[in-house]
Structure 1
Amino acid sequence: MDFLDIRTFLLGVLLLLVFRWLLGRPKNLPPGPWGFPLLGSIPAIVWGMFRGSEPHHQLHRYAAKYGPIFRFKFLNKTVVVLNDYALVKEAFQHPQLSDRPKNIFTEFLGLEGVGASNGEAWAEMRRFCLTVLRSFGVGKSSFEEQIGTEAEELIKEMAALGGKPFNPKPFLGNAVANVICCVIFGKRYKYTDEEFKYLLDLLSRNAKLAGGGGAVMVNPSLRHLPFIPFAELLANFNEITCFIGNIVDAHRKTFNADDLKDFTDVYLMEIQQNLARDKDRMLPDGKHPKASKYGHLSERNIVGTIMGLFAAGSETTATTIQWALLYMMVYPDIQKRVQAEIDDVVGRNRMPRMADIPELNFTRAVIWEVQRLANIVPLGVPHAAASDIYLRGYLILKDTFVLPNMWTIFQDPKHWPEPELFKPERFLNEGGEAVKADELIPFSTGRRSCIGEHLAKMEIFLFFAFFMHQFTFKTPEDSPPLTLKGKGGLTHSPQPFELCAVPRG
């Protein structure tokens, strides 16, 4: 066969493959951009990042071109992106769109847990987590004392700095994490605890390394790309896992079935019940095991579940409060209005309480506007299709990733006139009452909405209100200009900044 015959043969094979791909392509797939062979849309996203754009900005541009639902290829994965609130709400209430993709935890760390599980096991673990957290007061008004105590500890730390500049991120991270630690581990950590500070740094670093929508965590194939720091991400998670595993082991040594002090103790109790039931034997205390409502709880998923609750209960809430303080410095007139309202409703002789919420309308509006513009998780947490399913006439194939494009939803001018502006008044009605828009879903929506939503809402309100009551936050002298341009990753966080917390009289 001469060169011409070889070239003709190869061209024929190529055309045959193209025709086969075209004829075998399923009908009614969502529209979307053309992608490179093997890489899909990765080159376009990476090129945008080199120019200072984040992945959610690229998907925002795709949404403007292709509409409320589109798809793109990401290496070997198909990703469907939902860019409309009503569409996200409809999709995430559907049982077949409530799975999580296979991820770094299950594939490389051997971890299971409520965040990474699907089907009956996930439903049971989620029900268990919600029930136990509520039994320890989370989400109830009585829990505000615990949050308030931690907020006051942080206020003491800030006041001790005497108005000198400091980076609020480590303080906020420690304080917020302490709230969930008290419930899960039965203890809080001092702000000087170096091991705990290191753990929080690992969590924050991994939120950055995970990429928009947690792309690196849910698509381990990315580890083959030279610019993806997969090894560092994995090493960090291994250290976090060891830290939590050591705490669980310590709980085993002091475990007392008649004195369950925290979430970890309750989990260990369920594991004992399940082991005794499976082996048809009595418990260590000589009692017969009760029939458990949570048969899926085991040694395989205790560390994964606790790590998920700990991470979700610290990073995003602390980042939201960090953004709130930054916005107050950028908009000092708004800060004064919040302080005036709190002074009028609460007075200067006590701290704000949850019971004050109905009268703190502007304060709530400011928090909501911060959540909208800061957009802490701009691409949400990915779902996966459990089976082929039609959504608004489009076919979503089994195992397709489904992303809620929160960035586009929170910037939609149909719902948010002048969406780029910081306007807390958009959440106030004609009577000055705070009214939250349905389209504001910072904790997602549907069957897999954030487990810690009620806790996070209480923390954000109480920490922010306490801070506004006690301090005026100012930009340090000779500080570089403040920027509201955030850093990308799984969470959208502010650029590093310092502030001065000036005590109020």
Structure 2
Amino acid sequence: MASPNVSALFFDYISLQSFLIFGMSFLIIYHLFTREKPVKLPPGPPCLPLIGNVHRLLGGRQRHIVMAKMSDKFGGIMNINVFGKRVVLLTDLQLIREAFLDKTDRFSDRVQSQFGEYIWGFKGSLVFGNGKGWKYHRRTTLRALRNFGMGKRSLENKINEEARYLARSFEDESGRPFNPQPSVQNAVSNVICSISFGNRYEYDDPEFRSLLDYIKMFMSKLAVPSIVSKIPKLWVTPFYKSLKKQTDECISFLRGVVEHHKATFDSNDIRDIIDVHLQDNDDECGAEEKLPRSLIWRGIFDLFAAGTDTTSNAILWAMLVLTQYPHVQEKAQQEIDDLIGRERPPSLPDRLHLPYVDATLMEIQRFRPVGCFVPPRAASVDTELRGYTILKGTPVWVNLYAVLHSPKHWKDPEEFIPERFLSADGKRTETPEAFIPFGLGSRICIGEQLARMELFLFMTNLLQRFTFEFPKEDPKPNLAGELGITLSPGRFRICAVNR
């Protein structure tokens, strides 16, 4: 038997050892140069497998309060895990200002979920669109809002007219307890309709009523975080199939309105926002920016849904809160009586001379903000914020409720005190830095000025004519509210007593 070649075995061993050493060295060096740079993530609660921190966010209709209390422990910037997805939550005012004002170019994108794309799509959206097309669309819509009276006497007259219809519906109740929500929603929506569609609808119009019922259901039932956005198979469950069907009916209605406008379009007679977009569609603009006529309905949907729900809820909150603070209601009515009387309709210039009324409405927006959370944004690049790294694509949530109820900015924040917005002599309103009910930065609510107009004119009209009382036979009202996409006071009854 031949003896083994010791020399060959030695060199084979050396070669294998060298190969392993070289291979390991290569892998170590490759890992060192290609691994993600260590980042300092914001603090946050520990996670459970699969669901992350979702169990902490299931605060029922009080998620805004639950998440505000979490910031007491983890700070004004937190890292939260939602079904394996990292989310950053901001509750500190200066951090929000830094992100949305100083670094607005890095935090101006919207989060776009599969579920949102499935239900209503994002192309043409004023709220959820991104990129040059969204910027151009927003500018065009803002210009149209201004052209059709936002902040002007022409729109003031339309709001006052709608306020008269609303007052008439209240008078029909003869001081008996009733649910004001349908009439308020009709009135507010008609203001949006007059700007967007060029006409108003009767309160009992079945198609209009169906559309408003959809908006209410949609805004109250859906909220972040939604498990269905993470598990697409749940989209076929009865509730979401019904939601999709109702959404398609809503879209069909809006498309029908746009088609009618196309058929009757006259470039020399621009009637409303739809006509502005039809006209703009024919103007020269970059290919990326041009909004196809087939998508005009999408931006109108955003205006209609957001404008109807937010302002309606603000007015409903105002009426409900004033029943619980009759001394505030009485003082506001006295100021209105002294300046305007009970016959002349209010005008926008009156607001400067009604500081207590204005302060009361500001306090209502702070006390029960309709938009507790701004629609989530996303970091467009890796960004540092207060020493922490926000990775590209990370959703950023902002809890406005936490800012508007922070003891750092407000004395006795859980108390309803209109005087906090008045100057020392009580002759003018003052706006604290922390009063941001419409958000901040490039994504600030496009309808802010319109909403302020409506809230002032509707409530001043109503306080001229009625004193709001809570029915004695009804249980104590729930001032905590119910959080869906917006914070609503829920269903309640009220008595509108003629003055």
| Normalised TM-score (structure 1) | 0.86
| 8 A Cα contact 2:122 2:129, kept in partner | no
Q: Distance in 2 between matches of 1:371 and 1:470?
A: 22
Q: What letter is aligned with 1:467? A: L
Q: Deviations over 1:32-84 (max 9, x none)?
A: 111112211112223x43xxx62212211210011110110111322111111
Partner residue of 2:254?
Answer: 244
Amino acid at match of 1:489: G
**Partner residue of 1:346 out of 331, 337, 340:** 340
- Distance in 1 separating the partners of 2:258 and 2:323: 41
Aligned residue for 2:14? none
* CA separation of 1:503 and 1:108: change in aligned 2, threshold 3 A: closer
Shift of 1:222: 4.8
* Corresponding position: 1:309 with 2:267: no
CA distance in 2, matches of 1:146, 1:338: 23
1:73 and 1:377 mapped to 2: Cα distance? 23
Aligned residues: 459
**Equivalent position of 1:15 in the other structure:** none
Give the conservation status (yes or no) of the 8 Å contact 1:209–1:229.
no
Distance 1:356 1:184 in 2: 27
Residue 391 of structure 1: how far off its partner (Å)? 1.3
Summarize the alignment of residues 390-429 of structure 1 with structure 2, pairs less than 5 Å apart: 390-429=384-423
The structural deviation recorded for 1:110 is: 3.8
Shift of 1:351: 2.1
For 1:54, the equivalent position in structure 2 comes to 62
Question: Take 2:153 and 2:38, find their aligned partners in 1: how far apart are those partners?
Answer: 52
Structure 1 residues 237 and 26: CA distance shift in structure 2, 3 A: farther
What is the aligned partner in structure 2 of residue 263 from structure 1?
273
> Hey, what's the Cα distance between the residues in 2 that align with 1:255 and 1:139?
26
Q: Please, which moves more after superposition, 252-261 or 456-465?
A: 252-261
- Structure number with bigger Rg: 2
Q: Which residue of 1 aligns with 2:4?
A: none
The residue that corresponds to 2:132 in the other structure is 120
Instruction: Please report how far the alpha carbon of residue 96 of structure 1 lies from its aligned counterpart in structure 2 after TM superposition.
Output: 1.3
Residue number in structure 1 paired with 2:18:
none
Mean CA deviation greater in 202-211 or 232-241: 232-241
Equivalence map 1:111-190=2 (5 Å) = 111-113=122-124, 114-190=126-202
Q: Does 1:221 pair with 2:214?
A: no
Task: Quote how far apart the aligned CAs of 1:248 are.
Answer: 1.0
SS of residue in 2 equivalent to 1:473? strand
Is 2:364 the counterpart of 1:373? Answer: no
Distance in 2 (CA, whole Å) between partners of 1:150 and 1:331 is 26
3-state SS, counterpart of residue 79 of structure 2: strand
Distance 1:228 1:40, change over 3 A: farther
Q: Is this contact kept in 1: 2:82–2:225, CA < 8 A?
A: no
Distance 2:67 2:38 in 1: 23
Give 5+ residue unaligned stretches, structure 1: 1-19, 274-289
Report whether the alignment pairs 1:106 with 2:132. Answer: no
Deviation at 1:191, TM superposition (A): 0.7
| Cα deviation code 1:300-356 (max 9, x no counterpart) | 531211101111211000000000000111111111111111111112331222111
Structure 1 residue 141, shift from structure 2 partner: 4.0
| Aligned partners of 1:56 and 1:378 also within 8 Å | yes
Q: Which residue identity is paired with 1:252?
A: K
Alignment equivalent of 2:203, drawn from 185, 188, 191: 191
Distance, in Å, in 2 between the alignment partners of 1:387 and 1:339 is: 51
Distance 1:500 1:25, change over 3 A: farther
Tell me, yes or no, if structure 1 residue 323 matches structure 2 residue 317.
yes
Alignment check: 8 A CA contact 1:473 1:501 kept: yes
Letter in 1 for 2:486: T
Give the CA deviation at 1:111: 4.4
> Do structure 1's residue 475 and structure 2's residue 473 form an aligned pair?
no
Partner in structure 1 of residue 8 of structure 2: none
Check the 8 A contact 1:210/1:233 in 2, yes or no.
no
Offset at residue 299 of structure 1 (A): 3.2
Match of residue 74 from structure 1: 82
Q: Distance in 2 between matches of 1:324 and 1:428?
A: 18
- Name the aligned partner's letter for residue 422 of structure 1: F
Q: Distance in 2 between matches of 1:380 and 1:326?
A: 24
What are structure 2's unaligned runs of at least 5 residues? 1-31
- 1:478 deviates by 1.6
1:495 aligns with 2:490: yes
The reply on whether 1:450 has 2:445 as its aligned counterpart is: yes
C-alpha distance in structure 1 between counterparts of 2:238 and 2:377, whole Å: 22
8 Å contact kept, 1:472–1:503: yes
Q: Structure 1: how far apart are the matches of 2:410 and 2:231?
A: 36
Could you give the per-residue CA deviations for residues 412-443 of structure 1, whole angstroms, max 9, x where no partner exists? 11111111111111111211122121211111
> Contact 1:378/1:407 (CA < 8 Å) preserved in 2?
yes
